[in-house]
Amino acid sequence: MSFVFYLLLLLQNYNIFSVSLVNQPKEEQPIYINSFDYPLPDERIAKFPLSHRDASKLLVYRDSTITESVFSSIADFLPKHSLLVYNNTRVIRARLIFHKDTGARIEVFCLEPLSPADYAQSLGSTTGCTWKCMVGNVKKWREGLLSKTIEIDGVTCTFSVELLKTEDNTHSIHFTWDSLNIHFADILEKTGELPIPPYLHRKTEESDLTTYQTVYSKIKGSVAAPTAGLHFTPEVFESMKAKNIETEELTLHVGAGTFQPVKSATIDLHHMHTEVISVNKSTIEHLLQKVGHIIAVGTTSVRTLESLYYIGKDLTPSPSPRGEGDSASGLQSFHISQWAPYEATEEIPTEKALQNILDYLERNNLTTLHAETQIMIKPGYTFHLVDGMITNFHQPKSTLLLLVSAFVNGHWMDIYDYALANDFRFLSYGDSSLLLK
């Protein structure tokens, strides 16, 4: 029962994310989501990972040809001079359970910080913080504090939650505790539950605390793992190093919207969720050196990398840049809308976009670019940074499947037919694919 509310909110009848009709692209031929459906028997969904991460099967798609291997050998298939870019986000124990005096069970699912809005500051708070949350059984809790006593490193404190307001079926929840020696991250680690995907139809187990994190995860903030990275091991990284494959990391905190189904008949009515990204200046410098050789680990890395192009494009001097502030100098806040790639504006070279970002960071004495992205990558999209991607096999009728289709020029069904016919395991704990142009 632990995921009942989560399943209902994300996958059934709750409209968490409102539909916006503003600035939608005018498509000559609408993209119908039913064209991205395929039969996925429950037995093909991997409920648990393999005992060895890199023992998973690997499908390799290159020049419209499909071969297969094992993930431990992926270095043999990566092009020479490749730069592998992965998402270093770490999944937090975002699900919290409280009980009212009546015995009613209330589940609070942390989505993103509101105050402080910065993930690191909010997780590091020792006085209190407010998060955007989903709440299960909220009808039984409309007001008043819910509290529990917890003990962390020998310190006992009272941990309380208060519902501040409700908007679009999500809630602003204020967390407080009565010890200045405890961080919010410590509380989540002690009393929270790791939110494994709802389609696994099982409770979180102790093993998931390790297996549902990548070996390189370190920046806390996600409510779902960047699962393409779950196959990597230290041995795989050593094999890539031996072949002079370079690596870089970036951060996109994966939100619950990653499980949001496409409910509209056509894609133009679907509202993409927004996620927070951050990329170090040194990483952007490395990307600039490696344009034409960039391999993204997972769709989250793809969305981050492609968002960089549009951020850099907006930093080109113009009368009305999308970032707020002076386009030539001063701090800006960047939000890449889902339809930004499809607006009829002049393209610029990828190198120029990256250099624009570096110039902006240099002018403002910044070492990291922070932004929000809502980018939707669908068939017809032109990729600017990503030359290859490593990704798992995704749910039918999902935006992730649209992204894959865009990258392989519509040949996603060939790939998925092969995977289904050759005993590949699907979704988060399933097998992997390497897609190359």
Q: pTM score, two decimals?
A: 0.89
Is residue 15 over pLDDT 90?
no
- Taking only the tens place, the pLDDT of each residue in 279-319 is 999 999 999 999 999 999 999 999 999 999 999 999 987 54
Q: Give the mean pLDDT of 128-145.
A: 91
Topology adopted by domain 33-90+210-436: QueA-like (3.40.1780)
Q: What is the pLDDT of residue 198?
A: 87
Q: What is the pLDDT of residue 11?
A: 38
Q: Are strands 57-62 and 65-70 parallel, antiparallel or unpaired?
A: antiparallel
The one-letter amino acid at 94: A
Q: How far is CA 110 from CA 44, 97, 170, in A?
A: 30, 11, 10
Q: Which of 184, 179, 16 is nearest to 116 (CA)?
A: 184
Helix (H) or strand (E) holding 241: helix 234-242
Q: Of 13-22, 97-106, 138-147, 158-167, which gets the smallest average pLDDT?
A: 13-22
| Tokens, residue 183 | 């961080």
Q: How far is CA 197 from CA 8, 58, 171, in A?
A: 13, 22, 21
Alpha-carbon distance of 386 to 374, in angstroms, equals: 17
Q: What is the pLDDT of residue 101?
A: 87
Q: Is 256 in contact with 343 (CB distance < 8 Å)?
A: no
- Taking only the tens place, the pLDDT of each residue in 83-104 is 999 999 999 999 999 999 888 9
| Tokens, residue 266 | 């056509």
**Hey, is 276 helix, strand or coil?**
strand
Question: What are the extents of the domains in the chain?
Answer: 33-90+210-436, 94-193
| Tokens, residue 116 | 């402080």
Measured at the CA of 11, the angle between CA 98 and CA 20, to 5 degrees, comes to 105
Measured at the CA of 400, the angle between CA 437 and CA 308, to 5 degrees, comes to 65
Q: What is the pLDDT of residue 329?
A: 54
Q: What is the pLDDT of residue 7?
A: 39
Q: What is the pLDDT of residue 383?
A: 98
- Taking only the tens place, the pLDDT of each residue in 349-389 is 999 999 999 999 999 999 999 999 999 999 999 999 999 99
Determine the distance from the C-alpha atom of residue 325 to the mean position of all C-alpha atoms in its chain, rounded to a whole number. 27
Is residue 13 over pLDDT 70?
no
For the chain, what's the residue count?
A: 437
| Tokens, residue 346 | 């002049």
